Chains A and B, each alone.
Chain A
Amino acid sequence: MIGLASDQIISEMAYKGWDMELLKFQIDSKEMEAFEGMTILQAAEKAGINIPTLCHHRDFIPTGACRVCVVELEGSERLVGSCHTPVAKGMALHTRSPKVLKARKATIELLLAAHTGPCVMDFRAAQCDLHKIASDLEVGPPRFHIKKPRFYPIEDASPYIRRDLSKCILCSRCISACNELAGKGVFGAGYRAFDSKVIVDNDIPLNKEVCKDCYLCVEYCPTTALSKAKNAGDKKRGKKMAAVLPQPRLQDTRCGNLLPMLKKAQSISRHVSAKFMAKTAESLNLSVSEVFGVTTFYSFLSTRPLGANVIRVCKNLPCYLKGSEIILKGIEEAIGIKPGEVTRDKKYSLELANCIGACDQAPAMLINQEVYGDLTPRKISKILKQF
């Protein structure tokens, strides 16, 4: 539900298709025609050209997340995602040029390196699209390494679905299936950057209460991250409940209040509590996982209580060059905690911040909303005395 956007134009145009002119363009030197609004991927399919995809599925709004389906567009420096880019008149596209294959392989290698493997010994790997594409493209062991590949304990509390998020490639198809088809919103995207994770509610293991047995997510999962639980019934195919589809979020301007509400909660109770998130989700007609996902995206929001005074020491280059590490050490000694911790009397929280925009006063920090700049170890105790 997060991707939104061009599908709307595409679908609008597809419906209006009959009074639209046919566009002429080229894919892999083949002359092609298509209606305006068609994506490159759709056009390629029509021409019998196979472009590998992972996050994309025709049943869902494209998200453009995995970047496996990129193709070369003549005249464009960058590659374009074929699942979400509409064709245009005169385009010359290459789906298997050396540039495309090199980038595609590297993306596959990254996905292989980023999750916990190897899956060589896993009998389930045969069902994994990532492995299939990797072998199609002759990708060997990845050249890249990741310090801590994604690893999560297997969730098998649910009698219906077994989740093994160590195998997840964050394509978000389960989120789309649950939101767009089942209309339930059990899954959501949580956290940020490499910590991003498909979450259930407040990031709890999938269990019976939150999910019943429609299995749509399992059907759409391209990897083995989702599978039927061992003792699950033999129900074949999930029922699509498109009739109960919630209103597309795109139209719902009420959700614009979500971030201000979360910020207010943070300032009042020093954190965004699970209770508050549940209440907010209900009042805005969102799922708890959506609210939790927004909360954990932002570094100024916290799901655990912070201290009465939040100290944020900038750690980026301009401050680092001016000795921010000594300042941090000084503060750690003065209040006796490390970054990410809260003092026992709940008076202070210490956080490392990314650029606070006070580089002309480096090294600098924020305490609550105020900037303290040109810091020296001596200044620290003076400043802390004010609190």
Chain B
Amino acid sequence: MQKRIVLKNCGLIDSKSIDSYLRRGGFAALEKAQKFMTPEQAIEEVSASGLLGRGGAGFPCGLKWKIAREQRSDEKYIICNADEGEVGTFKDRYILENDPFTLIEAIAISGWAIGAGKAFIYLRAEYHRLFDRLLNAINQAGRKGFLNHLDIELREGAGAYMCGEESGLMNSIEGLRGEARYKPPFPPQKGLWGKPTVINNVETLMNIPQIILNGSSWFKAMGTARSKGTKVFSVSGDVEKPGVYELELGSRLSELVCDLASAREIKMVQVGGACGRIIPVELIDTPLAYETVLGSGAVTVFNQTRDVIDVMHRNMKFLAEESCGRCTPCRDGSEAMLEILGRLARGEGAGEDIGALEDLSSVMTLSALCGLGQTAPMPVLDTLKYFRKEYESRVEQSIFLRTIG
């Protein structure tokens, strides 16, 4: 069953008019925070709620804020990451289309809490059509006096998956190539232009007003031991009803793809996008949570007719093209994996291919500079685990074809 917390207002308010948002209790959380709480108390409330980042990495939101709050600096920044580039993810688009005001309120609260005077919303270029809607929401909120403490600037990407990764995103705002930076230092210590910076995903922020209004114990009551609250999923692929669904964390994958999205004859499901995990149909009852599998909430379903190696080849093509090119394991490793998967897909495999894929996965996971390079081999590793026979028989077929040809 769906539980709409983040998507509470979607479809019920006019995304172009702040009045309709105010009628549904909009900006009450900002008011409550500013009137009845100290920034420290607000951060404590977010920490106590157990809210984890919804963009994929799952870092505790309250901790990020706390670190940034504690830094001594003349300037601090808030960045809302609206660059959802993960393949199969469109939940943030849905949120921005339908409820930009909650987001603005959340940014206003977070800016106030960490003591930032400036916020950026980094919108991906593919969503340029939403630029005016967001700008309108910022302007309306400003005119109503909700943004007196914070200047929100709307920035736009120019087509780079890498800019959804926080260090690439900061480089992009600074006017540099959207390449990865090493950590530490972490953005809450030294981020944008070397200043303390909190970067939150759209969906993470959407939870903030209600945590402030209803309290952390209300939020904590939903979900599992480590995964509190709800998650918005983007379901696509071989399903009858693709779309955006919000479920309590810990709900079963089968509920999402079979009951809600009406998938049939499933072979496997990719959860978390191009860098995500592969769940074979035998494990379709896996709970969706940080403890198991979640990522950005992209859920792509593949039916029985799909060829695992073809799917992995296309997946790797995306990752190889979108690598920022800075570090060796990701730049050259994804290209080397693409070469192997391409040959396997064409039936030109060789005996050592599977071992080479595993070795490449290992070096990328262990040594790549950023989270993208480190997780890029995950789908290949998962399919090697669950569909190894398909790889092995492809290699055998290739060898057989060569001997007769």
The interface of chain A, by Cβ under 8 A from chain B, is 2-6, 8-9, 62-68, 70, 78-79, 81, 84-86, 99, 102-103, 106-107, 110-111, 113-114, 143-147, 169-170, 189, 191-196, 249-251, 253, 255-260, 262-263, 266, 284, 293-294, 297-301, 315-318, 320-321, 353-362, 366, 369-371
Q: Are A103 and B175 in contact (CB under 8 A)?
A: no
Chain A residues with Cβ below 8 Å from B126 are: 353, 355-357, 366
Stretch binding the partner chain, chosen from B24-32, B136-144, B367-375: B367-375
Q: Are A143 and B193 in contact (CB under 8 A)?
A: no
What residue in chain A is nearest B131 (Cβ atoms)? A369
Q: Are A170 and B367 in contact (CB under 8 A)?
A: no
**Option from B127, B172, B184, B336 in Cβ contact (under 8 Å) with A86:** B184
Q: Are B86 and A170 in contact (CB under 8 A)?
A: no
Q: Are B362 and A103 in contact (CB under 8 A)?
A: yes
Complex CA distance for A144 and B336, rounded to whole angstroms:
6
The interface of chain B, by Cβ under 8 A from chain A, is 84-90, 92-93, 124-129, 155-161, 171-179, 181-182, 184-185, 189-190, 193-194, 234-238, 242-244, 270, 274, 298, 300, 302, 306, 311, 314-315, 318, 320-329, 331-336, 338-340, 342, 352, 356, 359-360, 362-363, 365-369, 374
What residue in chain B is nearest A312 (Cβ atoms)? B126
User: Main SS of the interface on chain A?
Assistant: mixed
Chain A residues with Cβ below 8 Å from B334 are: 193-194
Complex CA distance for A99 and B322, rounded to whole angstroms:
27
**Option from B173, B194, B360 in Cβ contact (under 8 Å) with A250:** B194
Q: Are A67 and B369 in contact (CB under 8 A)?
A: yes
Q: How far is the CB of A316 from chain B (nearest CB, A)?
A: 5
**Option from B87, B155, B362 in Cβ contact (under 8 Å) with A355:** B87
Complex CA distance for A261 and B181, rounded to whole angstroms:
24
12 A-B interface contacts by CB (under 8 A): A62-B182, A64-B369, A106-B333, A110-B328, A145-B339, A170-B331, A192-B325, A194-B320, A259-B157, A316-B318, A317-B311, A321-B238
Chain A residues with Cβ below 8 Å from B242 are: 318, 359-362
What residue in chain B is nearest A6 (Cβ atoms)? B185
Beyond A192-B160, A193-B331, A196-B331, whether A360 also contacts B175 by CB under 8 A is no
In addition to A147-B342, A193-B331, 20 A-B residue pairs with Cβ atoms within 8 Å of each other are A5-B182, A9-B185, A63-B326, A103-B362, A106-B333, A110-B329, A114-B331, A144-B359, A170-B328, A170-B331, A192-B160, A192-B325, A193-B321, A193-B325, A193-B334, A316-B87, A318-B300, A357-B93, A359-B234, A359-B236
Q: Are A70 and B332 in contact (CB under 8 A)?
A: no
Q: Are A65 and B185 in contact (CB under 8 A)?
A: no
Q: Are A85 and B325 in contact (CB under 8 A)?
A: no
**Option from A79, A298, A317 in Cβ contact (under 8 Å) with B366:** A79
Complex CA distance for A21 and B363, rounded to whole angstroms:
35
Q: Are A67 and B368 in contact (CB under 8 A)?
A: yes
Complex CA distance for A262 and B159, rounded to whole angstroms:
13
Complex CA distance for A107 and B177, rounded to whole angstroms:
23
Q: Are A369 and B328 in contact (CB under 8 A)?
A: no
Complex CA distance for A355 and B243, rounded to whole angstroms:
15
What residue in chain A is nearest B83 (Cβ atoms)? A357
Q: Are B315 and A317 in contact (CB under 8 A)?
A: yes
**Option from B90, B171, B311 in Cβ contact (under 8 Å) with A360:** B90
Q: Are B369 and A65 in contact (CB under 8 A)?
A: yes
Q: Are B177 and A360 in contact (CB under 8 A)?
A: no
Q: How far is the CB of B56 from chain A (nearest CB, A)?
A: 14
What residue in chain A is nearest B322 (Cβ atoms)? A354
Complex CA distance for A65 and B174, rounded to whole angstroms:
20
Complex CA distance for A283 and B398, rounded to whole angstroms:
57
**Option from A146, A294, A354 in Cβ contact (under 8 Å) with B177:** A294
Beyond A81-B182, A359-B234, A360-B236, whether A111 also contacts B270 by CB under 8 A is no
Complex CA distance for A99 and B366, rounded to whole angstroms:
9
Q: Are A191 and B325 in contact (CB under 8 A)?
A: yes
Q: Are B328 and A107 in contact (CB under 8 A)?
A: yes
Q: Are B323 and A259 in contact (CB under 8 A)?
A: no
Q: Are B176 and A196 in contact (CB under 8 A)?
A: no
Q: How far is the CB of A130 from chain B (nearest CB, A)?
A: 11
Beyond A67-B368, A318-B237, A320-B314, whether A359 also contacts B332 by CB under 8 A is no
Chain B residues with Cβ below 8 Å from A4 are: 181, 194
Q: Are B175 and A294 in contact (CB under 8 A)?
A: yes
Instruction: Give 8 closest A-B pairs by Cβ, nearest first.
Output: A196-B325, A258-B175, A298-B158, A359-B236, A300-B159, A255-B175, A299-B159, A106-B363
Beyond A260-B156, A354-B161, whether A293 also contacts B177 by CB under 8 A is yes
Complex CA distance for A346 and B318, rounded to whole angstroms:
28
Q: Are B329 and A359 in contact (CB under 8 A)?
A: no
Complex CA distance for A318 and B340, rounded to whole angstroms:
23
Chain B residues with Cβ below 8 Å from A194 are: 320, 323, 325, 331-332, 334-335
What residue in chain A is nearest B365 (Cβ atoms)? A78
Beyond A143-B352, A259-B175, whether A317 also contacts B87 by CB under 8 A is yes
Chain A residues with Cβ below 8 Å from B84 are: 357
What residue in chain B is nearest A291 (Cβ atoms)? B175
Q: How far is the CB of B291 from chain A (nearest CB, A)?
A: 16
Q: Are A362 and B176 in contact (CB under 8 A)?
A: no
Complex CA distance for A106 and B374, rounded to whole angstroms:
15
Q: How far is the CB of B271 from chain A (nearest CB, A)?
A: 13
Q: Are A297 and B178 in contact (CB under 8 A)?
A: yes
Q: How far is the CB of A8 from chain B (nearest CB, A)?
A: 6
Q: Are B176 and A2 in contact (CB under 8 A)?
A: yes
